[in-house]
Amino acid sequence: MTTPTAEGRPPSSRQGGRPRHIRRCRPTRQGRVFAAAAAAAGIVLAAVGTSALVAAPHRTPARADIGSLPLPQGAADQGARTARAAPPVRIRIAGIGLDRPLTRLRIQEDGRLGAPENPSQVGWWSEGPRPGDPGAAIIVGHVDSATGPAAFYSLSSLRPGDAITVDRGDRSSVTFTVRALRQYEKDAFPDDQVYAAAGPPALRLITCGGTYDNEQGGYSDNVVLYATLAAPGTPKPSTPPSHTHHRSRN
């Protein structure tokens, strides 16, 4: 994600500012040491995440290219909503057994979006659109750590039609339907497409992907899940669906 920003503190979303890319998508020093040990043992690293994780024997990672991207639409009807949605406090994805509180993330001085401090946490871009408001709300999570799977480890197993529910601070909730998953090289990240500040309510879940570069200490790509507001009357699943998906090793 390489959207240029002005020198100094980047503008807030109200001023048109967007993150350049996710901050700290590289392993910590502990993760780098762990990665080196794994490489010495002939074991490759999982391709998605922020820290090193011992994975299966080496093979070329399959790129995430699933489902159809939502078609661009005009601005949402502002007359239908006069009050801003309450901030999100929790994300629930029954299909992968995820139920986590949300922490606030902000754009840092270098123009990058902060990441959760703990691999088990999930965060939302608090300066961007809120879930249920016009535009795309951004939620970020780690996939692995030096000790094992993290919050978004199973994200790539989701498929179009799966439900994502976000609980908000006023005890309301909003449900989104998965439409697509895409994997992008970081130097070719489609900022305008992902960070949509206007249009119908949408949701983007973002993590790292691609191959792990031990010399550079980071991952080559980003994985983005696209979701749109569920149709009125869509039931909110309380238990995981009967079908299971196999996570691609990205």
pTM over 0.85: no
For the chain, domain boundaries: 19-229
Q: Which are the contacts of 26, defined by CB distance < 8 A and separation ≥ 6?
A: 50, 216, 217, 218, 219
Residue 42 burial (10 A CB sphere; 0-12, 13-18, 19+): exposed
The domain defined by 19-229 carries CATH number 2.40.260.10 = yes
Check residue 59 and give its pLDDT.
Answer: 38
Check residue 70 and give its pLDDT.
Answer: 82
Cβ atoms of residues 143 and 150 within 8 Å:
yes
Local mean pLDDT, 10-residue blocks, the chain (250 residues):
32 52 48 35 32 35 75 57 88 97 93 88 96 97 84 93 98 97 90 91 91 77 94 62 42
| CA–CA separation, 121 and 199 (whole Å) | 28
Own/partner long-range contacts of 120-125 (Cβ < 8 Å, ≥24 apart): 120/150, 120/151, 121/151, 122/91, 122/98, 122/151, 122/152, 124/88, 125/13, 125/19
Cβ atoms of residues 202 and 226 within 8 Å:
yes
Check residue 35 and give its pLDDT.
Answer: 37
Check residue 49 and give its pLDDT.
Answer: 41
